[in-house]
Structure 1
Amino acid sequence: MELKKPLKTSDLIRELRQQLDLSQEKFAAKLGVSLRTVNRWENGYAMPSQMALKLIEEMLQKMGEPGKTLLRQYRSQAEQRENF
């Protein structure tokens, strides 16, 4: 079994968008934010709001197993940060 490194929020968003085969513009439209906002998230200059994170999590859940795998990787990193 291959172990993957935990995802940063920026990586999670980029990976989700790419797996959904969406441009940043189309992804932004789905979330009700601007293209610039998604770009800033993916480049690590800003963090999504709680509401945006909830919508992103819902998208991941709807993807089935691939989305759940991404979410587990992301949550693993969040738990590691809390332990420091």
Structure 2
Amino acid sequence: MGLTQEKFAAKIGVTFPTINRWENGRAKPSPLAMEKIMAMLHTLGDRGKALLSKYFAEKELGL
């Protein structure tokens, strides 16, 4: 996506430490955060879908 964790966090309305916890598996995004993440990644087309499947299980995505 070309965003730092800080910029990505700002775009979806969370903090950098929150993004870091998600990436390290210490926490999971809230349903609202998942909606924002999915909306942002869907704008990237296939690349966004690949990122979603890489970082989130199907059950987290509601698939």
TM-score normalised to the size of structure 1? 0.60
**Structure ranking higher on relative contact order (CA contacts 8 Å, 6+ apart):** 1
Aligned length: 57
TM-score normalised to the size of structure 2? 0.77
Q: Which residue of structure 2 aligns with residue 63 of structure 1?
A: 44
- Segments of 5+ residues of structure 1 without an aligned counterpart are 1-19, 80-84
RMSD of aligned C-alpha atoms?
1.6
Cα 1:34–1:70 change in 2 (3 A) is closer
Deviation at 1:21, TM superposition (A): 0.9
Q: Deviations over 1:8-30 (max 9, x none)?
A: xxxxxxxxxxxx11111111100
Runs of 4+ with deviation above 4 angstroms: none
Q: Deviations over 1:43-79 (max 9, x none)?
A: 00000000000011111110012112334x35xx435
- Percentage identity across paired residues of the two chains: 51
- Segments of 5+ residues of structure 2 without an aligned counterpart are none
